[in-house]
């Protein structure tokens, strides 16, 4: 089994749902803690209009602060989400190392999220992805609402696979499937990823599960068993899509890393800073978070 990469998305997917604005300096402190903890990729923010998602208004500045010569720490890649050409332009200027972008497999969600049809969004995202790759950046493309839609219900698997084929034909082979509505089940996850890998050679897959109905951890396990090598998680279980019908939190970073520790897969990722950070997030937001390990503590290594 290949080593599982942890892609932390809490500062983007997590905070986009929060009404309480997190100051720049606090975000930077959280980001540096994540970098020191040893996760593999950190999604710093998204390049969206600040009136639509006010929490992302400082994304450009965060990247500039983290990318300064003499400040940039070795370790995780810094990723950013873009929805359009303007977002890509901003990201190229301020130091994004890996661009994430995607298309929804639901027409209703696509319109609410981007104001575009699936067809229009696909053409634009492929063009943006190719341009980012030609600029020497890593690129990950995703299919959102891949396992169901809060507005439309079931999403046909062939529609999801059709979008993946478009990506692969354009040379974009780092693919993430996102369970935007939280409808996925482990059996469904295993089947869809198995079919996805049959599309072509050289495909690398990531997964992004929302915990709306409590199955995020089980779905991530099923995805890894099917060959997925990158799992997107959110510190303290923060997050969800603000443009879906019911927003649920994400797969919790410290809970998933605890699982990796218990199974001997990624003991190089440090648990204590993640648990401390989850507690700090909970204290800042003034509520208990959905994560389990930051409350219970990790299982002692001695078994005591």
Q: DSSP class of residue 258?
A: H
Distances from the Cα of 36 to the Cαs of 3, 25, 148, 219, 223, in angstroms?
A: 19, 17, 36, 27, 27
Is-contact 207 177, C-beta < 8 A?
A: yes
pLDDT in tens, 242-261: 555 455 689 999 999 999 99
- pLDDT for the residue 248: 63
State the sign of the Cα–Cα–Cα–Cα dihedral 82, 40, 250, 186: positive
Evaluate if residue 71 carries a pLDDT over 70: no
What whole-number distance in Å separates Cα of residue 205 and Cα of residue 238?
23
Residue 2's pLDDT is 62
H or E segment at 204? Answer: strand 204-209
Give the pLDDT confidence of 119-161 residue by residue, as tens digits: 999 999 999 999 999 999 999 999 999 999 988 999 999 999 9
pLDDT on residue 50: 86
Could you give the domains of the chain? 5-296 (3.20.20.70)
Would you state the pLDDT for residue 258? 97
User: 188-212, pLDDT tens digit by residue?
Assistant: 999 999 999 999 999 999 999 999 9
pLDDT number for residue 141:
98
Residue pair 151/245 in contact by the 8 Å Cβ criterion: yes
Q: Is the pLDDT of residue 106 over 60?
A: yes
Kindly tell me the burial class for residue 286, based on how many C-beta atoms sit within 10 Å of its own C-beta (0-12, 13-18, 19 or more).
exposed
Of the ranges 25-29, 122-126, 243-247, 287-291, which one carries the lowest mean pLDDT score?
243-247
Angle at 159 between CA 155 and CA 163, to 5 degrees: 130
Mean pLDDT of the chain: 92
Separation between Cα atoms, residue 304 and residue 301, nearest integer Å: 8
pLDDT reading at 114 higher than 50: yes
Which are the catalytic amino acids? Answer: 241
In the chain, % of residues over pLDDT 70: 94
């Amino acid at each position: 089994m290949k080593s599982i990469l942890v892609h932390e998305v809490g500062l983007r997917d997590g905070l986009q749902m929060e009404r309480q604005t997190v100051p720049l300096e606090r975000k930077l402190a959280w980001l540096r803690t994540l970098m020191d903890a040893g996760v593999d990729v950190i999604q710093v923010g998204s390049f969206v209009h600040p009136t639509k998602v006010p929490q992302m208004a400082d994304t450009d500045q965060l990247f500039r602060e983290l990318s300064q010569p003499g400040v940039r720490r070795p370790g995780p890649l810094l990723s950013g989400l873009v929805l359009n050409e303007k977002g890509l332009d901003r990201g190229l200027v301020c130091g994004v190392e890996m661009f994430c972008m995607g298309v929804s497999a639901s027409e209703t969600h696509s319109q609410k999220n981007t104001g575009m049809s699936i067809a229009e969004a696909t053409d634009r995202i492929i063009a943006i992805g190719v341009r980012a790759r030609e600029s020497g950046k890593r690129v990950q493309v995703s299919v959102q609402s891949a396992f169901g839609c809060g507005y439309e219900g079931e999403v046909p698997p062939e529609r999801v696979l059709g979008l993946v084929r478009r990506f692969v034909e354009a040379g974009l082979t780092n693919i993430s499937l996102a369970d935007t509505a939280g409808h996925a089940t482990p059996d469904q996850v295993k089947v869809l990823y198995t079919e996805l890998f049959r599309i072509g050679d050289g495909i690398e897959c990531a997964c992004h599960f929302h915990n709306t109905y409590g199955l995020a951890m089980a779905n991530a396990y099923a995805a890894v068993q099917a060959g997925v090598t990158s799992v997107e998680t959110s510190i303290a279980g923060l997050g969800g899509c603000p443009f879906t019908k019911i927003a649920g939190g994400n797969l919790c970073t410290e809970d998933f890393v605890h699982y990796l520790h218990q199974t001997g897969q990624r003991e190089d990722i440090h648990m204590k800073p993640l648990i401390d950070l989850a507690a700090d997030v909970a204290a800042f937001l003034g509520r208990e978070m959905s994560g389990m390990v930051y409350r219970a503590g990790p299982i002692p290594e001695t078994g005591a």
